[in-house]
């Protein structure tokens, strides 16, 4: 078993069930359609269970953005031409894309 698998296994065994239930209850009672945040609801509840509290404070937040020229534009199914990819990567690297704005407001590094 790899270090990653061991670590993940130990986290799963030590989840705080009270914090998990409290987080799920909090999510269920917010003014939004049930499940409307998708996997983010599961992630936030699991973070509460890992941390043992619904008051989770995350530090060292990072956003990983991936881009690639995989030839899909040649199939005629892409909304944008292939030239957009390097332009967007340039914008990501120079803090000029919408993900950079979101990252700044969330206190995350892109």
The rounded distance, in Å, linking the Cα atoms of 15 and 53 is 11
Tell me the three state secondary structure of residue 66: coil
State what percent of residues in the chain have pLDDT above 90: 65
If asked whether residues 13 and 34 sit together in one domain, one would say yes
| Contact assessment for residue 65 and residue 98, using Cβ atoms and an 8 Å cutoff | no
Q: Are residues 103 and 71 in the same domain?
A: yes
Query: 3-state DSSP call for residue 94?
Result: coil
* Domain ranges, residue 103: 58-110
Same domain for 47 and 65, yes or no, is: no
More confident residue, 61 or 6: 61
Confidence tier at 98 by pLDDT (50, 70, 90): very high
Provide the number of structural domains found in the chain.
2
Instruction: Say yes or no: 13 and 38 in one domain.
Output: yes
> Which of the 8 DSSP states describes residue 101?
H
One domain for residues 31 and 68: no
Does 41 lie in the same domain as 76? no
């Amino acid at each position: 078993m790899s270090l990653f698998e061991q670590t993940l296994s130990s986290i799963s065994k030590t989840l705080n069930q009270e914090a998990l239930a409290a987080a799920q209850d909090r999510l269920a009672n917010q003014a939004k359609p049930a499940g409307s945040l998708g996997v983010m609801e599961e992630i936030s509840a699991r973070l509460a269970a890992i941390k043992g509290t619904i008051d989770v404070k995350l530090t060292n937040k990072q956003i990983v953005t991936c881009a690639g020229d995989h030839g899909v534009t040649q199939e005629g199914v892409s909304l944008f031409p292939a030239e957009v990819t390097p332009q967007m990567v340039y914008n990501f690297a120079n803090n000029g894309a919408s993900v950079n704005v979101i990252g700044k407001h969330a206190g995350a590094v892109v």
